[in-house]
Structure 1
Amino acid sequence: MNIKEELLKYLQSSNEVRSFLSIAKGLNIKPNKNKELTKVLQECQQNFLIFKNEKDEYFAPVFKEEIEGNISISNNGKFAFVDYNINEELNTKNSVFIIKNNFNGAIHNDLVVVKIFEDITRNKEQRLFGVVSKIKQRMTNQLIGFVKQKGIYVDFEPIDKKFKFNKYKIVGMKQQANLNDLVTVKIEEITKSFILVSIEKVITNDADTKLFIKAYLEGVNVPKIFPDSLESEVSLIPQNIDNENKENREDFTNDLIVTIDGDDTKDFDDAINVVKLDNGNYLLSVHIADVSYYVREGSKINEEALKRGTSIYLADKVIPMLPEALSNGICSLNPNEKRFVLSCIMEIDNSGKTVKTVIKQGIIDSKYRLTYKQVNDFYDTQVIKNEWFSSNPNLNSKEFGVDNLSKMLNEAKELSLILHKFKVNEGYIDFEIQEPKILFNEDGSVKDITFYPRGFSEELIEDFMVRANEEVAKYLSGHHFPAMYRVHEKPDEERLLSFRNVLSTLGVKVVLPIGQITPLIYSGIIEKIKEQRNDEFIKMLFLRTMQKAVYSGDNLGHFGLASQCYCHFTSPIRRYPDLVIHRILRELVLNKDISKKEELTNLVFSVSKANSASEQGAVEIERKVNDLLFSEYYKNKIGTVLKGQIVSVVKFGFFVEFENKTNALVHKSVLQDDTLEPNDTMTQLKGKNDTYTIGSYIDVVVAAVDLVDGKVDCVPQKFYQDFLNQKINRRAVEDKHFRKN
C-alpha cells in the first residue's frame, strides 16, 4: 500500500482532525519522507479527497452528492451559499454552505458545480459543506463602481458589496477617468490574484443616488418587472366584477363604506363602515379586497406572488407583490366602483368585547376615498370640506351625504376609543415611534426630511384592522382550521438587562422584572418610563428588546399586541400570508370544503418561514434605500452645525440622532482622545479628556457622507477645524500619487 492509500485510509477511519505531525506519526513516516508526505497531502487536497481547516489540520470528509447552482457570496466575502432542489411552487429549497477557501475562483452569481461533503469530525448540525469544483459559466461581465486611491495605487471599488472583497486591477481605459469618478468596467480576465478590468464608461463625476439605489436593488435581486410568462394571465384579468359570482355574495353596496389611507396610496385593500346599533353596541364592518378570487392556487401570478412574498415600499415608489391590473385595478377598493370583498362583520359592546363575528363574501361600492389628513382635520374641526370630493356624486345624496358621513366618522371615533382602551387594559404596547419621512423635489432629488405626524385617524384604522385580524384568527383557531398565525414571543432577557443599564445611566427609576413578564406588566413599564423621560431613542431601545414578529402554523400568541390569537387578514394585495388566510376562509369557511383542510395545513407550514424571510428582506431593503436617500440629503449639509442626541455607544464611537429622526456616526478617531473606551454597559464612551453619555446632546458638524453605503459621519463642532486641516493634507498626498499613476 502506498503513502496516498495509507493516508486516506488513516484519515477516513478517524473521527478527528489530524495535524501534519500527527499524520506522520500515525503512518510511521520517517523525517526524510516528510517532503513526499507534503506532496501527497497537496495532491489529495487538489482532488477534493482531503481538506485542511483554519488550524492547518487535515480531515477526510464523506462525499455526499454533486449539485449545480448560482453562488451567492456574503457581503463580507467570507462565505457563500448555493441553492439547489428549488421548488418554486412550494417556495422550498436546500442550501449548501461554502467557506471562502472553497470558492476556488468563483465570484458572486457564477454558475458553479459544487461537491457536497459531510465532515464527520464536526457536530451533526454543522457537518455538511460545499466545495466549488467547477465554474460552468461566468454570469457577471460588467460592474459599476468608483475609481479609488488605495495607497500608492489606483484601484476600482465596486458598488455591490458582494464583489468588494475581490482585488481589482485596472488594465485599460476606453474613456479617461479621474479619481472618485463613477464608472462602468468590463471584466477582462479573472486570475488567481486579481480581477482585471477595463474602464468602459464614466457614468458621472457627480455622485447620483438614483444609480446607487439601482445598483443596490440589482445586487439584492429585487424584482423590477413581472416576468413575461405572466402576461397571458394578466391579460385575462377583468376591469369590472363579473355577474357570475354575485348571487353568492352579500350586497353591501347600499352601506356608507369608505377607505381611509395615506395621500399617496394607490392600492386600497381595506374599507370600513361603522353603525351604532339601537342596543348601544357598534357594528364594525371591515371589508377586504377579495384577492383570492382572482389569484388562484397553481396560477403563474400566484407563483410570482409567493416568490415575492410582500410588496416593498420604497420612499418614492412601490415594488408590488401583484401586477398593477390587480393591485391598482380590480382588487383596489376604488370609490364608486363595485368590488368583490371578504368581510369581517363584528358586533362590539361598550366595553370593547366582540359579541358576534360573521365572515362573508360580499360586494361593496366604496362611497369615499378619504385620507388620514382629511379625517384628522374633520375630527379637529367637525367640518367636511366640499373641495375634498368636488366630483363625488355621493356628497349631495341623502343616504351618503355630509350629514351621514359626519355621523359615521364620529361613531367610528367612539368605537376606536373603546377598542383602544380595551387593548391597553389587556397590555397592548403603544410605542408611538416617529419615523423619518422623505420629501422629494420634482426631479426626484431629496428636498427635505421630516417625520410622520401620527393622528387619530391612523390609530383608528389600526384599531379596526387589529380587531378584524384577531377575530379571523380566533374563528379559524376555534374551528380547528389551519391558519398562518402572526406570532410574537416575549422579550429577550439579555436585551432587557442591557436596556435596564441604559435606564440606570439616564437616572430613570423603574423596576424592570426579568423572567415571567406579561404584556400588561410590560406596557405598564413603558408608561412609567414616559412619565420620567419621553425620549424617542428610549422607545426605540425598548422596542429592540422585543423579538421579531414572524409567521407560523402554530399559534404562539402576539406579545406586542397582547393577543392570544392573531393573523394577517387585512392586506392581501401587499402580503402573501393574508392571501393564504383568504384561501383558507374561502375553502373551509365559505365553501365548507373540509377535504382541503390537509392541503391548506401543509401550505401554511411550508410557506410560513419563507414569508417571514421575505418580510424581513423587504424591511432591510426599505431601510437601506432610506439610508442612501438620507446620505444624499446630508451631502448638501456638509459643514452644517446640528444638535444631536447620543442614542447609541459602540466600540468605535457613538451615534447621534437629529430632530428629523435620522442618525449619524461620530467616530472615535475624530474625538482627539486615544484613551476613549466604552464602559461595560455600553452607555458611555469615557476618556481622559471627555465623557460621552447616551441621552446627552452635542453640537456636531456634518463632515462626510458615503453615498454608496448610505452612511453619514459627523465631528463634534469643537474638533471640526482640526478635522478639516487633516483632510486637506491627506487629499494633497492622494492627488500626488494619482498623478504619478
Structure 2
Amino acid sequence: MDINKIEQKVISILRDTGGPMRLQEIARRINIPAKTPLYSSLLKAVENLISSGIISRSSRRRYHLQEYLNDTLITGILKIEHNKGLVYYDKNKQPITIKRKNLYTAFDGDKVLVKLLGVKNKNRQYGEVIEIVSRAEHRIIGTIEKDAGLYFLVPSDDRYYLDFVVPSKKLKRATHGSRVVAKLVEWEDPNKSPIAEVVEVLGNVGDIGTEAERIIYEFRLPKEFPDKVIEEAAQIPERIPQSEIKRRVDLRDKLIITIDPIDAKDFDDAVSLEKIPNGHYLLGVHVADVSYYVKEKSEIDKEAFRRGTSVYLVDQVIPMLPEKLSNDLCSLRPNRVRLTYSVLMEFDPKALKLVKYQIVESVIKSKKRLNYDQVYEFLKSGRAPKNEIEALLLEMNEFAQKLRKKRFSEGGIEFETAEVRFVLDENKNPLSAFLKESTIATQLIEEFMLAANRTVAKHIQKLKVKHKLKSELPFVYRVHDQPEPEKIKSVVNFFKSLDIPARNLVSDKAINKFLKLFEGKPEKPIVHQLLIRAMQKAIYSPENIGHYGLGFQYYTHFTSPIRRYPDLVVHRLLKKYSAGIPDEDELNRLSRIVDVASDQSSEREIVAMEAERESVHLMLTLLASENVGKEFTGTISGVTNFGLFVVLDGIFSEGLIPIRDLIDDYYIYDERNIRLVGRRKKKVYKFGDRVVARIVEVDVEKRKTWLKLVDYLS
C-alpha cells in the first residue's frame, strides 16, 4: 500500500468518524500492525497530511480533520469539461473549478473530496481533489493502439483526459486499431497511467454498428434491463381483473383513436372528440395508466427513475420501461382493452373556453390506429369523409386549429422547427436524409396534449383553493423561464448585422409579431433558429413559474408515462390527491419525491437530447462520407475565426470551409458582426449566405467534415 493510498484512507476514516482519533486507532481501522514497514508509511502519511493542512494533531496527540474547523472540505460530483473539472455540491451555488493538475486520479462522475484553494478570476472558487470518495461506473470507449510493445486505450470521449494502459492479458482479442469498451481497473497514483481492461470489442472505427454502440456507452445509456426488472415485469398478469374494470369509468364504446409516427410501437395516448347535447365539444385525452402496473419503489420503478426517459436514437430506441409494458400491456393498441387515465374537457365552441373537466381512471378500447402521414394525406385531400373516423378527423382538425390560433393570440410563441430524419438500409446505414416538419396532423395531437397537460396542472391549483391550503401541493411542473434580456439583446444585434430589421423583442407578442414578418421568406428558418437558441431551456420543477414559450401559467407533463418518468409521478400524485389531501408527514414525503424526480428527470432529459443529437450527427457524417468529391449548394450556418460552417442541401450534413482555403483574399474575422471580411476586396461571408461547396474529407470517428468553397451564390 503506497503513501497516497494510506493518506486517502486516513482522510476517509477521520471524515467518517467526525472526531479526534489516536494514531493507534487509525492504524487498527486500516489494519496496519505496529512495528511494521506499513506503520512507518502511516507515520509519514500522517505527517504529510499535517504539513498540507488537511489534518491537525492536538496536544493530546489526537488527530482530526482541520477542515472541520474552517469548512474548507467539500464533497461533490466531478464533471470534466474542456480539460478541467467542475465539482457540483449544491444546486444553488457555483461549482468548484479543478485545474487539470489538481484532479488527482478522479474521472468524470466520481464522487470526490475537494480542498478549497481560494477564489480567483471572476469570483470563481478553485480547489483540488484530495480523495476519491466513490468511483462512478466507468465504461470507456476508445481505440486500442500498440506502441513499443505496450497496448494503450486512446479514449474517444474527451472526459477521459489521458490514455490508459491495457495489459496484454486484458485485451479480450482486441488488436491494434480495434474500437473497444473498457472498464477502469485501477488508478491510485496520478504520476502513473490508469489501468484498463477490455470488456467488449465493438469492431472497426467508422462502422455503423461500432459508432452507434459508441454513443450508447459514451452517454452511459442503460441499454439492457437488470435481471430483477425483467423478472418483475414477467410476473405482471396480462389479464385485467374484472373488479378493476368495474371500478373505472368505462369508455370502451366511445370512438377513440390513436395517431402516432408511422414507426411507433408505444402508443401512450389516444384521443376522442364529440359534440354533446348542449352544443359544446367534449375532448378526451386518454393516457396509458402506467402507474397501475408500475408501483412506487418496485424494481421497475427504480429503473425507470434511473433512466428518466426513453431515448430515441436514429437506429434504435432505448426504452424507459421493459418491452412487456412499453410495447404491450400499456400500449394503447387498437381493439385491445386498456387501462387509462382520461382527461375529459368540455369546451365552449365559440369562446374556446374550458367550462368543466374530469380527470378519471378509465378503461378504453381504441377503435383505430392511424399514423401522421395517413391523417395528413386525408386532411389535405379535401375529399368528403367516407366513414365515421374520417368525419371525426375533420372535426378534430377544425377544433385543434382553433385551439392553436387562440393559444398564439394569448402569448404562445409560434416557433417552427424541422427535424432531420433518415431512410436506413437493412444494416441501419443511412441512405438519405429528409426534413420532417410540423403538419396539421402533428398539430392536431400537439394541441390536444397541450390542453390535457394544462388542465391537469390547473387542477392542482384548484385543489389548493378548494381545500384552503396555505402551501402548494407537491407536484412536478414543466416550466420555462423568460429569456435573459442580454441574450435577446445579443440576438437582436446579430439580426441587425445580417440586415434583418429587429427591435428589442421584450415580450412573447413582440416575438410573434416579428416572426410573422418572415412568413414565406428565405430568412425564416434562420430567424426561428436564432431566436430558439436565445430562449431558456424548459425543465421539470416542483416550483411553478409558468411556461413562457407556451404562454401558460400552469403546465405539466401528463400524457407520456410510457416514455417520461415525470408523467408517471404526476399520475401517482393525481391518484393520491383524488383520495383526499394527505397528512403533513405524507405531504413532506411527497415533496421530497417531487424534488428528486424533477432534478433527475431534467438531467436525464439533457443526456437523452445530447445522445439523440449525436446519433443524428453520426448519420449525417456517414452520409457525407458517401459523397466525398461531390458538390452541393448549401447555407452558411456559422462563422468563426477559423472558417465557415456550411449545411449542405439534400443531405443536411454540416462541414467546415477552413479560412486558410479562402485564397482569393486575406479574410479577417469581424467578431462584433460575426462575419468574415476580405482585407482587399471587402467581400463578406455571413450567416445565411448561400454557397456551393465540395466535400473533400470526412472523419467519421471525430464526426468532422471538411469542405472546399466552389462558388458564392448570395
What range describes the TM-score normalised by the shorter chain of this pair?
0.7 to 0.9
* Partner of residue 530 from structure 2, selected from 534, 541, 560: 541
Question: What is the DSSP-based 3-state SS (H/G/I as helix, E as strand, rest coil) of the residue aligned with 1:594?
Answer: coil
* Partner of residue 577 from structure 1, selected from 559, 566, 588: 566
Tell me the residue number matched to 2:703: 710
Question: What is the DSSP-based 3-state SS (H/G/I as helix, E as strand, rest coil) of the residue aligned with 2:531?
Answer: helix
Tell me the residue number matched to 2:102: 102
Distance 1:603 1:135 in 2: 25
How far is the alpha carbon of 1:137 from its aligned partner?
A: 8.6
What pairs up with 1:133-282 in 2 under 5 angstroms?
A: 133=131, 144-145=142-143, 147=145, 157-163=154-160, 165-167=161-163, 182=179, 192=191, 194=193, 207-282=206-281
Contact 1:170 1:197 in 2 (8 A): yes
What CA deviation, in whole Å up to 9, does each residue of 1:418-464 have, x standing for no partner? 11111121122222211110210011111111111432110100011
What pairs up with 1:363-512 in 2 under 5 angstroms?
A: 363-381=363-381, 403-480=387-464, 481-512=473-504
Distance 1:136 1:281, change over 3 A: closer
Counterpart check, 1:684 vs 2:690: no
Question: What is the DSSP-based 3-state SS (H/G/I as helix, E as strand, rest coil) of the residue aligned with 1:639?
Answer: coil
Distance 1:347 1:692, change over 3 A: same
Counterpart check, 1:695 vs 2:704: no
Letter in 2 for 1:413: N
Contact 2:98 2:126 in 1 (8 A): no
How far is the alpha carbon of 1:518 from its aligned partner?
A: 2.7
How far is the alpha carbon of 1:208 from its aligned partner?
A: 0.8
Question: What is the DSSP-based 3-state SS (H/G/I as helix, E as strand, rest coil) of the residue aligned with 1:162?
Answer: coil
| Deviation larger for 331-340 or 603-612 | 603-612
What CA deviation, in whole Å up to 9, does each residue of 1:448-499 have, x standing for no partner? 1111143211010001101111111111112223321111111222222222
Distance 1:371 1:223 in 2: 29
| Deviation larger for 673-682 or 574-583 | 673-682
* Partner of residue 635 from structure 1, selected from 610, 619, 625: 625
Tell me the residue number matched to 1:77: 83
Counterpart check, 1:556 vs 2:545: yes
Contact 1:240 1:338 in 2 (8 A): no
RMSD: 4.0
How far is the alpha carbon of 1:185 from its aligned partner?
A: 8.6
Distance 2:327 2:384 in 1: 27
Distance 1:141 1:348 in 2: 53
Distance 1:308 1:184 in 2: 21
Question: What is the DSSP-based 3-state SS (H/G/I as helix, E as strand, rest coil) of the residue aligned with 2:287?
Answer: strand
Tell me the residue number matched to 1:57: none
Tell me the residue number matched to 2:67: 62
How far is the alpha carbon of 1:117 from its aligned partner?
A: 3.1
Distance 1:204 1:116, change over 3 A: closer
Tell me the residue number matched to 1:396: none
How far is the alpha carbon of 1:363 from its aligned partner?
A: 0.4
Distance 2:360 2:185 in 1: 62
Distance 2:701 2:260 in 1: 33
Distance 1:704 1:434 in 2: 27
Q: Show structure 1 runs of 5+ residues with no match.
A: 1-41, 53-59, 85-90, 386-401, 720-741
How far is the alpha carbon of 1:46 from its aligned partner?
A: 5.4
Distance 1:162 1:506, change over 3 A: closer
Letter in 2 for 1:654: L
Contact 1:274 1:284 in 2 (8 A): yes
Distance 2:408 2:152 in 1: 58
Question: What is the DSSP-based 3-state SS (H/G/I as helix, E as strand, rest coil) of the residue aligned with 1:224?
Answer: coil
Question: What is the DSSP-based 3-state SS (H/G/I as helix, E as strand, rest coil) of the residue aligned with 2:433?
Answer: strand
Contact 2:96 2:125 in 1 (8 A): no
Counterpart check, 1:332 vs 2:334: no
**Aligned sequence identity (%):** 31
| Deviation larger for 671-680 or 556-565 | 671-680
Distance 1:438 1:77 in 2: 34
What pairs up with 1:296-375 in 2 under 5 angstroms?
A: 296-349=295-348, 350-375=350-375
Letter in 2 for 1:658: L
Distance 2:235 2:89 in 1: 34
Q: TM-score, normalised by structure 2?
A: 0.79
Letter in 1 for 2:273: V
How far is the alpha carbon of 1:371 from its aligned partner?
A: 0.5
Distance 2:401 2:99 in 1: 55
How far is the alpha carbon of 1:592 from its aligned partner?
A: 2.5
Distance 1:700 1:383, change over 3 A: same
Contact 1:485 1:553 in 2 (8 A): yes
Tell me the residue number matched to 2:5: none
What CA deviation, in whole Å up to 9, does each residue of 1:232-279 have, x standing for no partner? 421222223222322221000000100000011000110001112344
Distance 1:196 1:718, change over 3 A: farther
Letter in 2 for 1:249: R
Letter in 1 for 2:129: V
Letter in 2 for 1:308: R
How far is the alpha carbon of 1:317 from its aligned partner?
A: 1.4
Letter in 1 for 2:331: S
How far is the alpha carbon of 1:332 from its aligned partner?
A: 0.8
Distance 2:115 2:132 in 1: 15
Distance 1:43 1:66 in 2: 19
Distance 2:553 2:174 in 1: 65
Distance 1:653 1:45, change over 3 A: farther
Distance 1:138 1:599 in 2: 28
Letter in 2 for 1:160: D
Contact 2:636 2:686 in 1 (8 A): yes
How far is the alpha carbon of 1:186 from its aligned partner?
A: 10
How far is the alpha carbon of 1:204 from its aligned partner?
A: 5.6
How far is the alpha carbon of 1:613 from its aligned partner?
A: 1.3
How far is the alpha carbon of 1:588 from its aligned partner?
A: 0.3
How far is the alpha carbon of 1:118 from its aligned partner?
A: 4.5
Letter in 2 for 1:78: K
How far is the alpha carbon of 1:171 from its aligned partner?
A: 9.5
* Partner of residue 117 from structure 1, selected from 99, 102, 115: 115
| Deviation larger for 344-353 or 465-474 | 344-353
* Partner of residue 565 from structure 1, selected from 539, 554, 569: 554
Letter in 2 for 1:324: E
Counterpart check, 1:666 vs 2:671: no
Letter in 2 for 1:576: Y
Letter in 2 for 1:671: L
Tell me the residue number matched to 1:605: 595
Q: Matched residue pairs, number?
A: 637
What pairs up with 1:26-37 in 2 under 5 angstroms?
A: none
How far is the alpha carbon of 1:534 from its aligned partner?
A: 4.0
Tell me the residue number matched to 1:283: 282
Contact 1:230 1:300 in 2 (8 A): yes
Contact 1:143 1:186 in 2 (8 A): no
Distance 1:97 1:291, change over 3 A: farther
Question: What is the DSSP-based 3-state SS (H/G/I as helix, E as strand, rest coil) of the residue aligned with 1:254?
Answer: coil
Letter in 2 for 1:575: R
Counterpart check, 1:614 vs 2:616: no
Distance 1:624 1:670 in 2: 28
Letter in 2 for 1:561: L
Contact 1:436 1:451 in 2 (8 A): yes
| Deviation larger for 208-217 or 190-199 | 190-199
| Deviation larger for 681-690 or 139-148 | 139-148
* Partner of residue 592 from structure 1, selected from 576, 580, 588: 580
How far is the alpha carbon of 1:172 from its aligned partner?
A: 7.7
**Larger relative contact order (Cα-Cα within 8 Å, sequence gap ≥ 6):** 1
Distance 1:166 1:701 in 2: 35
Question: What is the DSSP-based 3-state SS (H/G/I as helix, E as strand, rest coil) of the residue aligned with 2:413?
Answer: coil
Letter in 1 for 2:668: E
Contact 2:144 2:174 in 1 (8 A): no
Distance 1:424 1:195 in 2: 56
How far is the alpha carbon of 1:73 from its aligned partner?
A: 5.6
